Structure 1
Amino acid sequence: MIRLPADDRASSPYTGYTRAHWEAAADALLAAVEPYATPDRALYHLPGGRVSRSGRLSDGLEGYARTLLLAAFRRDETVLGRYAEGLAAGPGGVWPRITDRGQPLVEAASVALALRLTRPLLWDRLDDAVRGRTAAWLADALTARPWPCNWELFPVTVGGFLAEAGHREEAARKAIDRGLERIEDWYVGDGWYTDGDGRKFDYYNGWAMHLYTVLHAWLSDDGELLARYGRRLSRHLADHARFYGGDGAPLRQGRSLTYRFATTAPLWLGALTGHTPLPAGETRRLASGALRYFLDGGAVDERGLLPLGWLGPDPSFVQDYSGPASPYWASKGFLGLLLPPGHEVWTAREEQAPAGRADAVHPLPAPNWLLQSTRSDGVVRLHNHGSEDVRWDPYYTRLAYSTATSPLPAYDNSVLVGGDPGRTEIEPLGTGEGWIASRHTVRAGITVTSLVAVRGAVEVRAHLVAGAAPGTPVRVTGWPAGEGVRAELLPAAGLSAELAGV
C-alpha cells in the first residue's frame, strides 16, 4: 500500500490530489522495487510466477528500464544514483543484446529517454567508459528491425538521445527519419494513428504514437516537427478527455491495459509542450482521477508493487509478452512531474471532467467509434465499429466497451451467427450525432451490418445478418455484469423474448 498526504479539497475538489500526492506515489513505487534489484543493480527481478515469452533475463532488464523511466520523471538524484550503478554493469554484458524484434529494443527506448531527460543528473556524471558501453549497447537499436507498429518509434527515441550525445550521429539520424516516415502511413487523421497496418485503435495511440513523436520533437527543439505532431496531439486530447469515467476509470479497451495510468501520459504531454485544448485544471483532474481510481482500487499490492492486472492481480489483462515488470510502463503516467511546481497544471483549481458535466454522445469518425456518457453514474461507453485485431482479442472485437465493465470470454456485446462470434474485416459505415454503423464478416459468405442509436443511457442496436442459411440461430448479447451498475437487454424486434436479461 502507498501512504499519501491528506486530501487537498481546496485546490482539488474532485480528486483531492496535488503534486505532493504524485511525488509520494512515485517515491513509494520506486522504493518498493529496490529490494528486487540484483547486487549490481543492472536487473530488477520482480516477484511473480510468470515469465514473459522473452525470458527471465529480458524481464529483469524490463524491470530496470521501466522503473528508471519513473526515476527520470521524479528527478531524485539519490535514486538516479542507484540506476547509475546499474549502467556501470548492465551494458557491459549483463543485459541481453538488442536484436531484431526483441523485447530489449522496447526497453532501450525507455533507457534512452530517461538518459535524455536527466542528462545533467545522470549521463553527464558517468565516467567515459560507462558512457561508451551504454552508447554501444543502445546503438544496436538503430539498425534492429522493429515490429511494424509503435515499435518503429523505439529506434527514433534511441536515435534522438545518441545524436544529442554525439554517438553514431549519422546512423542515429537515419533511424529517426526512417521511423518517423514509417508511422505517417498509419496516421488516419483527427489525432488518430492505427498501431500498424489495419484498424488497430487503442491506447497505444496516446502512450506511444503521440508520446514518442511529440517528446522527440520537443527535446530536439525542432519547431517544425513539434508543430506537426503537436497539432495531432491537441486534436487527440479533445477526444481522449472523454475516455475517463466519473470515478477516474479509463475505458477498458485494447491490449496492455495492465499499464493502467499510463493512459494519462498524453494529458501531461499536452500541458508540457503547450499543445492541448484542455484547461490546466481539467488536465490534472483527469490524470489525478485515474491515479486515484487505481490506488484506491487496490492496483498496488501489500508490497507496494504493481502486479499484472487492473485493480489488483487479474490474468485476463495479461498478454504473452507480459512479464512481472511490464506494469511499470505505468511510469509514463508520471510525465507530469517534469512540469515545475509553479506550472498552472499544478496550481490551477481542478475542473470537472467531461463525464461529470452532462450526458453526452460524441462521434469519433477516424476510428469509427461513438462515445456515450451519462452524468448520473459517470459511466462512459465506447461503441466500437471500427477497431479490430487479428488475434481475436476480446479487448478489440466486442461491439462496445465501458469504464465500468471488462469483456468476458463468454462473448458479451457480440452477435453470434450459428454459434460463431467472429468479427473481422470491419467496414465502417459512418458515425454522427447519436448513431454509428458498420459491417463485419462472421466467416466466409456471412456478414452482419450493425447500427446503434443512443440517447442518455439508452442504446438501440439493430443487426442485419446476410449470407446465413435460413433457420441459422442468431444470438445477440449485451453488457457483462459490472460492479455497481445494471444493464437490461430488451428485444425490440426479430429476437425471442426469452433472450431478455440483465
Structure 2
Amino acid sequence: MHLPPPAADRSPYTGYTRAHWESAADALLAAAAPYADRSRALYHFPGDRVSWAGRLSDGLEGYARTLLLAAFRRDETVLERYAEGLAAGTAGVWPRIEDRGQPLVEAASIALALRLTRESLWDRLDDAVRQRAAAWLADALTAEAWPCNWELFPVTVGGFLESVGYEAAASRKAVERGLERIERWYVGDGWYTDGDGRKFDYYNGWAMHLYPVVHAWLADDSDLLSVYGPRLSAHLADYARLFGADGAPMHQGRSLTYRFATTAPLWLGALTGHTPLSPGETRRLASGALRYFLERGAVDDRGLLTLGWHGPDERVLQGYSGPASPYWASKGFLGLLLPPDHEVWTATEEPGPAEREDAVTPLTAPNWLLQTTCSDGLVRLHNHGSEDVRYDPYYTRLAYSTVTTPSASYDNSVIVGGDPGRTGIVPLGAGTTWAASRHTAAGGTAEVTTLVVASGATEIRAHVVTGAPAGTPVRITGWAPAEGVRTELLPVTGIGAELTVETDPSGLPSVTGRTGEAVAVTGRTGEASGGGAGADPALFVTLARLTAEPEPAPLERTVTVEVCEAHELHLSWSDGGRECHLLPLGPGREGKTCRFPSSPAEEFPA
C-alpha cells in the first residue's frame, strides 16, 4: 500500500494525516474491485474458507462491507459501481433477510451506507431500483435478531427507511424496539454487555455505541443524542486507555479480525461532539491503530485484508468469519465524514494515555483493572468480570495485553487438578490498585477467588482455592511469551512444602504446588489442614510481570509481600507505598469476610 510521506510536524507520533487515511481507503477499495462478480452484487475474495452462513451470504458480506468503506470515502465514481450492484442484488441475486440470518447484519451496513450517501447514490437510482431495494431491506424490520448487538441492525435499517419515507410507521417501530431492547444491557459508566451475561469487548464501541449514536446524529434527534452521546463520552474515557503506545488495541474479545474498526468510536465522539478526548489525542489514537496494522501484514500482497490480526491467523476467527469479514474494519474510516478543516484533522497529535504516565485504572462496570507503563507503552487488562457463555480464551483468561495473545498452554490461568477451565466468573470489585473475582474450576467442584494488585509493571496475584481435596495439584501460569517482551512469574507463598517454577516449551512460565499442606509464608506462619470440600482453603501468591524494558529492576525487589495468619496480604512497595488486603477464606470463616479493601497507609501494621 503506497501512502504519502509521513507528516512529522502535524503528526509527530504516527506521521499520518487525513491524506494517509484517504490513500488507505482508496487502496482497499481498488484492491477489492476485481473480486466483484459480473453483477457487482457479490464480492468473492480468494481463499477456501466459507463461513457458516454459506458462500452466497459471504458474497453479500463482501459487497456490503466494502460499500460501507465507499460511503465513508464518498467517491462518486466508486459509488457508481455499487449502484449497479444494488440494482442486481435486489433483483434476485441476494439472499432474503430472515430471522437470525447473516443478511440481517449486512443489511445494516447497506442501509447506513445509503443513508450517508443519499444525494450521491440513493437519489440517483431509478425509482424501480429504489422500490426493490427498500422492499428487500424492509424484511429487516421484522426479522428476529440474536439477543445481542444484532438488535441494532433493524434500528439502522429502520432509520434509513424512515428517512426516505418507506413504511415510516413500521420503520419507526423497529427503531424504538431495538433501542428499548439494548437498554437492559446498559450497565453504566458508558459500558454495555453484548447481550445477556457479562460479555465486555470491542462490540461496545463498534456496535453498541456506534449504531444508536449515528442514528441519533443522522436523524438530528436531540433527545436521543442526549441519552446516547454522554454514554459514548463516558465510554471513551476508559476506551482510550485500551491502546498501547505502538497503536495496538487490546488483544481481547471476539471478532478481532475487524482490526482498526476499534477506531470507530474515537471518530464518532469527535463527529458528534461527545468525547472527553482532545482532537490531537483522538487522531493520534486512531492513526496509531491504522498504522499498527498496515505495518504488520494486515493487508496481503494483493492489497486485501486478511483473516487474522497481523497477517492470517485462524486463532482470532469465529464460525461466522468469512473471506470478507475483515472489511468491517471499514468502520474505522468513519473519521472521513469529518471535513478536512475539522480540528481533529488540523490539530497537532498529542500523546495517548499509554505514553503520558504509569497508571493503574479500575473500570467498575466490566470489573477490569488496566495497568499501563509509559516506559514501554504496554497496556495490560486484568479480567475480573468478563466472560462468554461458552469457554473462550479471549474472554476467560485472567489477563490480556496489547502485545501478547492467548496461548494454547493456558496463559494467565489457575489450573486446578489439571482442569484449565474458568467459568461462572463473579466480579468482587475493583479499587485504586486492585481487582478481584471468583470462578468455578475443576469441572465445577472447586472454586477459585483471585485478587490482583498492580503497581508499575509489577503484579501480585493471590489465589484462594476451595473445594479441592487435599493433594490436588494447582498450576498457576503467567504471561504468554511474545517478541520483544520479558515475562516473569515468581512464587511468594502457597499451600505446599515447596512451590515449583516451570517453563513449558512455548516459554510460558508457571508455578505449581498442591492443596492441603503447610503454608510457607514470610513473617508469621499459619496452618491449613488437608481434607475434602469442607477443608481450609489453599492460598497461592505469586509475583508476575510483563515488560518491554531492556533492563528492569529484579522483580523480587519491586515489592515485599507478607502473608499474616494466611489471610492478610501486606505489601510494601519499593517506592515506599504500603497496602493491606484481606483475603477471603470461604463462607463460614468467622472474622474473615470476603472483601478486598485498599487500606490507607496508617492502617498498615507498624
Q: Which runs of 5+ in 2 are unaligned?
A: 504-508, 510-606
Helix, strand or coil for the counterpart of 2:461? Answer: strand
Helix, strand or coil for the counterpart of 2:331? Answer: helix
Helix, strand or coil for the counterpart of 2:463? Answer: strand
> Is the 1:190–1:232 contact (alpha carbons within 8 Å) kept by the matching residues of 2?
yes
Q: Which residue of 1 aligns with 2:238?
A: 239
CA–CA distance in structure 1, aligned partners of residues 356 and 291 of structure 2:
19
Tell me if 1:71 matches 2:65: no
> Is the 1:490–1:500 contact (alpha carbons within 8 Å) kept by the matching residues of 2?
no
CA–CA distance in structure 1, aligned partners of residues 278 and 439 of structure 2:
39
Tell me if 1:411 matches 2:410: yes
- Of residues 12-21 and 428-437 in structure 1, the stretch that sits farther from structure 2 once superposed is 428-437
CA–CA distance in structure 2, aligned partners of residues 444 and 497 of structure 1:
25
Amino acid at match of 1:458: T
Structure with the higher helix share, 1 or 2: 1
Instruction: Spell out, residue by residue over 1:408-457, the C-alpha distance to the aligned partner (whole angstroms, 9 max, x if none).
Output: 12111000111111211111111011100011111333110000000000
Q: Which residue of 1 aligns with 2:120?
A: 121
**Residue 458 of structure 1, CA deviation:** 0.3
Amino acid at match of 1:152: E
After superposition, residues 395-434 of structure 1 pair within 5 angstroms as: 395-434=394-433
Helix, strand or coil for the counterpart of 2:318? Answer: coil
CA–CA distance in structure 2, aligned partners of residues 474 and 497 of structure 1:
10
> Is the 1:430–1:438 contact (alpha carbons within 8 Å) kept by the matching residues of 2?
yes
Helix, strand or coil for the counterpart of 2:362? Answer: strand
Q: Which has the higher contact order (CA 8 A, sep 6+)?
A: 1
Structure with the higher strand share, 1 or 2: 2
- Of residues 444-453 and 145-154 in structure 1, the stretch that sits farther from structure 2 once superposed is 444-453
CA–CA distance in structure 2, aligned partners of residues 210 and 492 of structure 1:
43
Q: Which residue of 2 aligns with 1:192?
A: 191
RMSD: 0.8
Helix, strand or coil for the counterpart of 2:144? Answer: coil
Q: Which residue of 1 aligns with 2:249?
A: 250
Q: Which residue of 1 aligns with 2:575?
A: none
> Is the 2:300–2:306 contact (alpha carbons within 8 Å) kept by the matching residues of 1?
yes
Helix, strand or coil for the counterpart of 1:323? Answer: coil
CA–CA distance in structure 1, aligned partners of residues 95 and 396 of structure 2:
35
Tell me if 1:382 matches 2:381: yes
Q: Which residue of 1 aligns with 2:448?
A: 448
Helix, strand or coil for the counterpart of 1:420? Answer: coil
> Is the 1:491–1:500 contact (alpha carbons within 8 Å) kept by the matching residues of 2?
no
TM-score by length of 1: 0.99
- Paired residue total: 501
Instruction: Spell out, residue by residue over 1:140-186, the C-alpha distance to the aligned partner (whole angstroms, 9 max, x if none).
Output: 00000000000000000000000011111111111111100000000
CA–CA distance in structure 2, aligned partners of residues 257 and 419 of structure 1:
29
Amino acid at match of 1:293: Y
CA–CA distance in structure 1, aligned partners of residues 102 and 199 of structure 2:
21
TM-score by length of 2: 0.82
> Is the 2:367–2:384 contact (alpha carbons within 8 Å) kept by the matching residues of 1?
yes
**Residue 499 of structure 1, CA deviation:** 2.1
**Residue 377 of structure 1, CA deviation:** 1.0
Helix, strand or coil for the counterpart of 1:108? Answer: helix
Q: Which residue of 2 aligns with 1:286?
A: 285
CA–CA distance in structure 1, aligned partners of residues 433 and 356 of structure 2:
18
Larger radius of gyration: 2
After superposition, residues 11-410 of structure 1 pair within 5 angstroms as: 11-410=10-409
Instruction: Spell out, residue by residue over 1:175-210, the C-alpha distance to the aligned partner (whole angstroms, 9 max, x if none).
Output: 111100000000000000000000000000000000
> Is the 2:362–2:370 contact (alpha carbons within 8 Å) kept by the matching residues of 1?
yes
Q: Which residue of 1 aligns with 2:482?
A: 482
Q: Which residue of 1 aligns with 2:568?
A: none
> Is the 2:198–2:388 contact (alpha carbons within 8 Å) kept by the matching residues of 1?
yes
> Is the 2:217–2:225 contact (alpha carbons within 8 Å) kept by the matching residues of 1?
yes
CA–CA distance in structure 2, aligned partners of residues 135 and 295 of structure 1:
37
**Residue 497 of structure 1, CA deviation:** 4.0
Helix, strand or coil for the counterpart of 1:185? Answer: helix
Q: Which residue of 2 aligns with 1:462?
A: 462
> Is the 1:372–1:380 contact (alpha carbons within 8 Å) kept by the matching residues of 2?
yes
CA–CA distance in structure 1, aligned partners of residues 264 and 412 of structure 2:
29
CA–CA distance in structure 2, aligned partners of residues 493 and 26 of structure 1:
54
CA–CA distance in structure 1, aligned partners of residues 389 and 447 of structure 2:
17
- Of residues 118-127 and 488-497 in structure 1, the stretch that sits farther from structure 2 once superposed is 488-497
CA–CA distance in structure 1, aligned partners of residues 283 and 483 of structure 2:
26
Amino acid at match of 1:133: R
> Is the 1:91–1:134 contact (alpha carbons within 8 Å) kept by the matching residues of 2?
yes
Q: Which runs of 5+ in 1 are unaligned?
A: none
CA–CA distance in structure 2, aligned partners of residues 358 and 328 of structure 1:
34
Helix, strand or coil for the counterpart of 2:447? Answer: strand
Amino acid at match of 1:260: R
Amino acid at match of 2:89: G
Residues 1:489 and 1:500: Cα distance change in structure 2 (over 3 Å): farther
CA–CA distance in structure 2, aligned partners of residues 362 and 45 of structure 1:
44
> Is the 1:100–1:146 contact (alpha carbons within 8 Å) kept by the matching residues of 2?
yes
CA–CA distance in structure 2, aligned partners of residues 288 and 14 of structure 1:
9
**Residue 382 of structure 1, CA deviation:** 0.1
**Residue 500 of structure 1, CA deviation:** 4.9
> Is the 2:21–2:333 contact (alpha carbons within 8 Å) kept by the matching residues of 1?
yes
Tell me if 1:498 matches 2:497: no
Instruction: Spell out, residue by residue over 1:378-422, the C-alpha distance to the aligned partner (whole angstroms, 9 max, x if none).
Output: 110000000001221100000000000000121110001111112
CA–CA distance in structure 2, aligned partners of residues 83 and 483 of structure 1:
42
Helix, strand or coil for the counterpart of 1:310? Answer: coil
> Is the 2:197–2:389 contact (alpha carbons within 8 Å) kept by the matching residues of 1?
no
